[in-house]
Structure 1
Amino acid sequence: MTMRTATRPLAGLLTGILLALAGCTANTTAPSGDPGAIPSGPRCIEPAPTGTGSTGGTGSASAAAPDGKSRPALPAMALQCFNGGRWTSLSDLVGTPTIINLWASYCEPCRTELPAIQRVATAGAGEIHVVGIVTRDRTEAARSVIDAKGLTFPMLEDKGQQFAIATGPLVDKALVSLPATLFVTADGRIAYAYQGPALDESKLRDLTSQYLGVTVPA
């Protein structure tokens, strides 16, 4: 009887650990009973297709663009998925033109431009990646913005601003000042870093066409 009593707390502890581990993984499956549903909220970036190589996101080398300007590679680092759990390498973005938006809930221009970024992400699906990086923010505060704006594009979290600090010198801009939007070519190089007034959909489409060569459908 004593042994049976002692095993109950242990069983409860193991159950709690398993539930906690399950809760740390990104929600990538459809809700039960509705196999055709799309999970709500932000996902994480998916690994690059096999065979895309590693020409970007793995070093500090730069390549010259047609205009002669240097195009630095994305810093070699990993960030945690916003949903928690796993860390993902930015090199997984190699293979597809990508828009990276650095934002935070306390940044008013960030909140203003996020709906436009979501619309471009939806319209450009299959042609471009759009990734958000929640920067130096509380998870709960960022989650409230994500829910209010209905954001579904992949989201990473960078509470220590490591990405902004590492990338700023590469593009000669202080990316710790938000919002900031990077336009990254398919080979993982930063073609342009935008900082300025909140982007509207028209401006974002124009920059995507100019620096990534992708026309986002209207």
Structure 2
Amino acid sequence: MSALSELKKRLRPGQVYRRQDLEKWSNAVDRHVRQLLDEGRLEKVSGGVYMAPRQTRFGKAPAKPEKLVEAFLKDDRFLMVSPSAFNGLGVGSTQLYNEPVVYNLKRHGRFKLGGRTYDFRKKSSVPARLTQEVLLVDLLQTMDRLAEDKAELLPRALERARSMDPVRLAKAARDFGSVRAGRLVAQAFEA
């Protein structure tokens, strides 16, 4: 069996690979990657990151965004948030956004992965999961970047904060939020 055939056997649809992952199964990784790209068995996501597309009845589908981001960062400690999720807080936001925000410990900037742009924001700590409290803190710290009218959105966000568990909200603000978000959370409970 050729080294290329061995490499093809190892590829799993929907998985994302770094070049160094493929080196384990290939004696000429650059040549084999080029051949797999030409055959459509791999697609380049970004420099040194490739995905094996999944075949669906609608055609080829990309890997899940979480897998793309994890391979890109070489780290699974990140939180991906779509600003569209703010609409679920019931504070009057209605906009739909197409660019997910990735809070992480390593990278900062906008990067295109698999044809989609992600806004990477480096933080000193990242929550393990997205809770309503973390989402509200994120809304408070990113309000200036949103398309909604801040003068209308802020009072409703503070009102929503007052309906949440104050201990969990304060912890989310302290662990994840900006200084400004922490001040706004404290202000919500002073009123």
Using CA pairs under 8 Å that are at least 6 residues apart, name the structure with larger relative contact order, 1 or 2: 1
TM bin (shorter chain): under 0.3
Higher helix share: 2
